[in-house]
Amino acid sequence: MGIQLFILILFPILAPTFTFSSPVSDPELVVQQVIEKINASRRNLGFLSCGTGNPIDDCWRDDAVNPKPGTLRYGAIQNEPLWIIFARDMVIKLKQELMLNSFKTIDGRGASVHIAGGPCITIQYVTNIIIHGLNIHDCKQGGNAYVRDSPEHYGWRTISDGDGVSIFGGAMFGLIIAHCRIVVDGLIDAIHGSTAITISNNYLTHHNKVMLLGHSDSFMRDKIMQVTIAFNHFGEGLVQRMPRCRHGYFHVVNNDYTHWEMYAIGGSASPTINSQGNRFLAPDRADNKEVTKHEDAPQSEWKKWNWRSEGDLLLNGAFFTRSGAGASSNYAKASSPSARPSSIVGSITMGAGSLKCKKGKRC
């Protein structure tokens, strides 16, 4: 089942006919007549608009409570499973955060689709979501407004964080974020018992706190969290949290880390971190070569946390501090897929980010 999305922009031609006598006896009166006729013509175009009489703007602008059929928000909130594709290249500026309903695939392949300049994507208490091939950047805070999350319900939303993708909710499982290019204030956050999440083949750049996985050290429901972070490129301008983990299990596999200013992978509250086959290129500064950061705990505590590095390529002085069972060579988690050799991470991640696909051709 699919839905093809498009944004309809009407550009009516305002061409009233004016007849002037010659010579003009009163230029000011003529100007006033012209203005009156133009305004009358614009009012007559009101039937083309979606409600307020502005036919150029109203039919395509984002409506967070009553979205128009054919818009991204309209497809995203429907109850039935939908595969949402895009008719053409477009930049979507959301008025409020985009709330997704369950069983949705948003597929940007075949077009250059940007969600930018406004609030971005929120995934809350839903399941089975795929986000693929989008460019998400310049996200802003939204909120203090009503936002619809299904055909039957809309509610009051407080101020949002301005993240690219915000994941929230104990009922959440089955999420894939793949082949997106994300450059925003807070790239991906997953909290409050979100689990079964895969973040793969994305290109992430220019941000301080990149990825937060876990609500707080005291929120024990996050122990169910399982996240796979694979085949991503962590690039220029990144500072920390790639990711920053709390409770739960995190498999970080075959990613390319070409920049960090503080650290790459961090955590608190005894997360299990399984790092395999990644390439870590340390910055040139001598004081931040360490890949890992054990946060908010003394060494007597964090040395028990299970942090493992296997087959990672550590360049330019980079080093990974193992701890707990992860310091043992026989430590592994049975459900983790095998990593490819770190020597080929460059080629594996070459296609990270939104794909340059065109309709009718293979990506």
Q: What are the pLDDT digits (tens) for 253-285?
A: 999 999 999 999 999 999 999 999 999 999 999
Query: Would you say 280 and 309 are in contact if contact means Cβ atoms under 8 Å apart?
Result: no
Assigned architecture for domain 72-348: 3 Solenoid (2.160)
How many residues does the structure list for the chain? 363
Choice among 52-56, 138-142, 166-170, 298-302 with the minimum mean pLDDT: 52-56
C-alpha neighbours within 13 Å on the C-beta side of residue 105: 14
Q: Which runs of consecutive H residues, i.e. helices, occur in the chain?
A: 27-44, 72-76, 299-302, 345-348
List CB contacts of 123: < 8 A, sequence separation 6 or more: 100, 129, 165, 166, 167, 168, 169, 172, 175, 194
Strand partners, 91: 114
Closest-CA residue to 44 (of 13, 18, 8): 13
More confident residue, 42 or 226: 226
Residues carrying an active site annotation: 241
Q: Which runs of consecutive H residues, i.e. helices, occur in 117-271?
A: none
What values do phi and psi take at 321, rounded to 5? -90, 110
C-alpha Rg value of the chain to the nearest Å = 25
- Per-residue model confidence (pLDDT) at position 127: 92
Check pLDDT > 50 for residue 22. no
Mean pLDDT of 197-207: 93
Mean pLDDT of 281-297: 94
Choice among 15-19, 38-42, 53-57, 100-104 with the minimum mean pLDDT: 15-19
Q: For residues 30 and 137, what is the distance between their CA atoms, to the nearest angstrom?
A: 49
Check pLDDT > 90 for residue 11. no
Give the start-to-end residue ranges of the domains of the chain: 72-348
Check pLDDT > 60 for residue 23. no
